[in-house]
Structures are given as C-alpha cells and as structure tokens.
Amino acid sequence: AEITLKGAMATDHPGATISRHIYGQFSEHLGASIYDGIWVGPESDIPNVRGIRKDVVAALKDIKVPVVRWPGGCFADEYHWRDGIGPRDQRPVRKNNWWGGGLESNAFGTHEFFDFAQMIGSDAYISVNVASSTPTEMREWIEYLTSDDADTIANQRRANGREEPFKVDFIGIGNESWGCGGTMTPEYYANELRRFSAFFHKNGFGFHDNNDNNALRVASGANNLDTQWTKVVMTNAAMAMDAISLHFYTLFEGDWPKRNEAKATGFSLDQWHEILFQANRMEEVLQAHIEVMDQQDPEKRIGLYVDEWGTWYDVEEGTEPGFLYQQNTLRDALVAATTLNIFHRHTDRVRMANIAQTVNVLQAMLLTDGEKMAKTPTYYVFKMYVPFQDANFIPVDIKVPMIKHKGKRYPAVSVTAATGKDGRIHVGIANLSLDQNYTLELDLGNVLTVTEGTILTHAALDAHNIPGEQEQIMPHVFDAASVVGEHLKASVPSKSVVVLTLQ
C-alpha cells in the first residue's frame, strides 16, 4: 500500500542561491576521459570540430555544464603545461604514471581545453602542479593564459593562435596534497599554498594595478572525514584561498573497490543498499567540514568545493584497472539526485562540486565506444536538475522514513525545492526505496499548478545504457502530481527520481 508523507515548503521564504557551479564536471587525463571521450583529433572520422567530438559537445550543452575542472586529479601534479602548447606534432609524449602508465600525447592541451570549455559554454577551473613544480611554472601558465600585454609569454600564446587572453575562473592550487599530490602534512601544504598563492598575484597582489588574475584560488582540501586537514590548512593559510576543496567518493563500505564487491551492474541487494547508504554519508561529511569552517570563517568568505565526488566501483571486466571505466545505472541516478539534494541544503557554504568524471571515467555523464555514445542515468538526473542552477533554495520540512538494512540506516526519500531563475518553483524528489511508493503531500502556502513533471525510473535496478544500443533508461513524462487547494500531492514510485515544475 502507498504511504503518505506530509510536509510543507516555505515558498515565501526562499533561502540562498544554489550556485550553478555545484553542477560542475571534472575531466582528467585518465583512461578514455579526454582521449576518445572528448578529443578525437581533427583527422578523425568521428564527427568533430577542431578535434573535439560533436556528439559529446551537444550532449554537454544540453545539461548546461557550468564549470569543468582540468587536467586532474592526480595527473595535475605531474603535468607541465608547456608540453601541451604549440604544434601538436611537436609536443612531447610522456608517460601517464598515475593512470595505467600509458602514453600521454599532449594533443589535448591548454588551447584545446579552453576551446572545449567555450564550445560547451562552461567556466574554466584549472588545477596547477604544486607537488612536482614551482610557483614560477604556475605563474607563467597564468601569464600565458591571461596577460593582455606585450610580454614574451603572452606573445607566445598569440603565436599559437590565440590573440585574446583566456578567462580563468578558478585555479586549484594542488590536488589531494595529502596523497597523490605530494603526501604532504597539512602544515607543510599550508605553507606551500601561501607560497604559490603569493606568486599567483591575485588581483594584482604586489605593487601594480594588474587585475587580470581574479580567478578564485582553491586550496587542496581533505578526503572524507579528515577535518584535521581542513582545520590546519584554514588556520594557517586562510588568506591564501577563496575556497577549499573536499573529496568524497561513494565507495563500497567506504573503501576502494575489492573485486566483485563493488559491481557497477549485476550487483546484489546488499550492494544496492550499501552504495545508497554511503552516498547519504555526504550529509555528515559536509556537516563535519562546515563546522570547522564556521569556526575559522564565520562570515563564510571561503567556499567549500566538493571538486571530486561520485560512485567508484570495480572497473568493467576486461578493461584496464587504471582507466576507471565503469557502467552507470538507475542506482547511480539515485546517488546523483540524493547528493545534489544534499548540496542544495548547504548552498551557503558549498558553492561548487565537480562530479568525477564527465566522460568514460567513474560516475560519468557519457560513455563512448568509437563513434558511438550513450547518455547515462546520471546524465539524465543532471538534465532534469538544470532548473536548479542558480535557483533560490526553498526549505522543505518533511519527516521521511528510514531504510534499514543490516544495521545501517538511510533516508528513504529526499526532497529539494527552489524558485528558478524563470520564477517557477521546481521540486526534486528521490525515492530510494526498492519497493515502496510514497505519496508526498506538501503544504505550499500558495495556490499553484503543476505545469511539468519528469520521472527517471526502471523495473531493473541496474538499468543502464550502452553506446550504440537502444536506450534502456531515460526520463519520461510524469503526471501523478497535482495541486489541491494549497497542497501539492505527488505519487512517487519506488526507485525513481521525479522533478516537478509549479507555477
């Protein structure tokens, strides 16, 4: 039998703006993320514009990608930007030591990345090499990108075909500096951050009026619940950052995959529950870091950027373990909606998030196979949630039941609401239950009508899409919602994501 959940939405009291940047992406030089996934080269038979796949660009434009973080990840702390400029046939070939040890052609470099970002209409977030480089290399990259003067480096950019400076919106100073980014202590990293930040010359820091470096500086942040990292880096180097990052992956039992325990498809019911439980832990992880940040920065000047998140499973059978290629199912769609709803609740501090990763890696939006491409269930959640970008958060007061499985508990239903830039009210609902349909009855305090409804669901828990095959799972029109008086009534089926628009 259907269960009714009653609650209220404070439609008259909208909260902070949900930054569109929490719908950000992360694209690293890893596996088939860049090469094949985004870049095929101008000579390829796969339809492309200046080497960049047309199908991928069209799909990403549809989800209005607000920002892309590049070139890594672990890769960033071994990357030298000069390898990726100038004539492509003269660029050095390097080893990609973090990811599979294969060859990195450097065909996709600075100009190609900015071309891609511009094609999809996204802001640029570049991650600079701290651990195996110097502030000088960073300084020169920034100058190459942003200088409008007649300095030699800017002229080099012009000689490479770009007259106008590029716009750098965000700069990541190191990545996972506690791990692949140099195995530093937080004290050591905080000093490195101060040093690199000084030579970044933010907004002309120094005695000149250079205003070309207005990018927001993102400090390399903690993993999971390591609040000590956040505390030390903020205590010692708050002045050197505009945001600090946080990485939190949805891992089976919170640990990196052991074969056959963390399957992307064909998983057991235990694995289904475990992943949804872990995804919900994002709430406690954010709360823990926000508490520390609130002590150090009560005015909330510094943003918390979850610049890597998503599910991390065993790689697909027969694929290179270092390429992190995994399928993506209805379960991932539920992880995505639940996580985005959690971000919305912390929007005053969480001002960016970047799902790992855009194409062919971890919880991807898109999977490619030669000239074929599939949109994943996660992609469709991002598409359904576009109206939440830069919308005004509306608090929802609702008590939801908990799912209990083998001693672990997580909420069965997650609800979010916001007033969109279009003035309409958007409601996102994730029902994580395997078999329980819920009717939501929400007091709106206003008479409105439901103008649109979309649902993503499937009978199969691991429904997924395969490049070149008929789509198995995609959004459909949802019409089981209406407003009676001032009450929204929506009948939300088990294991589904629903987005409603009210006017």
295: exposed, middle or buried (C-beta count within 10 Å: 0-12, 13-18, 19+)?
Answer: exposed
Q: Which one, 292 or 362, has the nearer CB to ligand AHR?
A: 362
**Shortest distance (Å) from residue 76 CB to ligand AHR:** 8
- Is 308 considered catalytic here? yes
* Cβ atoms of 27 and 34 closer than 8 Å: yes
Distance in angstroms (rounded) separating the CA atoms of residues 313 and 323 = 12
Q: Which one, 52 or 355, has the nearer CB to ligand AHR?
A: 355
* Residue closest to ligand AHR, measured at CB: 73
Distance in angstroms (rounded) separating the CA atoms of residues 202 and 215 = 7
Asked if 34 touches ligand AHR (CB under 6 A), the answer is: no
Q: Which one, 74 or 365, has the nearer CB to ligand AHR?
A: 74
Amino acid at 371: E
Question: C-alpha dihedral over 344, 450, 329, 73, to 10 degrees?
Answer: -30
Q: Which one, 29 or 464, has the nearer CB to ligand AHR?
A: 29
Nearest CA-CA partner of 462 in 339, 373, 376: 376
Near ligand AHR by CB under 6 A: residue from 176, 212, 274, 332: 176
Nearest CA-CA partner of 64 in 124, 123, 121, 126: 121
* Cβ atoms of 499 and 453 closer than 8 Å: yes
Near ligand AHR by CB under 6 A: residue from 104, 308, 332, 462: 308
Segment interacting with ligand AHR (CB under 6 A) among 69-77, 192-200, 250-258, 419-427: 69-77
**Shortest distance (Å) from residue 312 CB to ligand AHR:** 8
CA atoms within 13 Å, Cβ hemisphere of 207: 0
| Number of other CB atoms surrounding residue 118 within 10 Å | 12
Asked if 175 touches ligand AHR (CB under 6 A), the answer is: yes
Subset of 330-369 contacting ligand AHR (CB under 6 A): 356-357, 362
The per-residue DSSP string of 102-133 comes to -EE---S-HHHHHHHHHHHT-EEEEEE--TTS
Q: Which one, 360 or 433, has the nearer CB to ligand AHR?
A: 360
Asked if 173 touches ligand AHR (CB under 6 A), the answer is: no
**Shortest distance (Å) from residue 488 CB to ligand AHR:** 38
SS (H, E, C) 272-294: HHHHHHHHHCHHHHHHHHHHHHH
Asked if 140 touches ligand AHR (CB under 6 A), the answer is: no
Catalytic residue from among 28, 112, 143, 308: 308
Question: DSSP letter at 208?
Answer: S
Asked if 73 touches ligand AHR (CB under 6 A), the answer is: yes
Distance in angstroms (rounded) separating the CA atoms of residues 460 and 377 = 13
Collect all residues with Cβ–Cβ distance below 8 Å to 451 and sequence separation of at least 6.
424, 501, 502, 503
Distance in angstroms (rounded) separating the CA atoms of residues 25 and 229 = 24
Sign of CA dihedral 289, 324, 50, 129: positive
Size of the site for ligand AHR (CB under 6 A): 10
* Cβ atoms of 23 and 66 closer than 8 Å: yes
Q: Which one, 213 or 357, has the nearer CB to ligand AHR?
A: 357
Q: Which one, 243 or 432, has the nearer CB to ligand AHR?
A: 243
Nearest CA-CA partner of 240 in 217, 220, 214, 222: 217
Segment interacting with ligand AHR (CB under 6 A) among 54-62, 71-79, 284-292, 398-406: 71-79
Asked if 74 touches ligand AHR (CB under 6 A), the answer is: yes
Catalytic residue from among 28, 78, 176, 274: 176
Near ligand AHR by CB under 6 A: residue from 5, 24, 25, 28: 28
Amino acid at 72: G
Segment interacting with ligand AHR (CB under 6 A) among 10-18, 68-76, 189-197, 428-436: 68-76
- Is 176 considered catalytic here? yes
Q: Which one, 336 or 356, has the nearer CB to ligand AHR?
A: 356
For residue 315 the two structure tokens come to: 């790689």
Asked if 221 touches ligand AHR (CB under 6 A), the answer is: no
Q: Which residues bind ligand AHR (CB under 6 A)?
A: 28, 72-74, 175-176, 308, 356-357, 362
Residues with active-site annotation: 176, 308
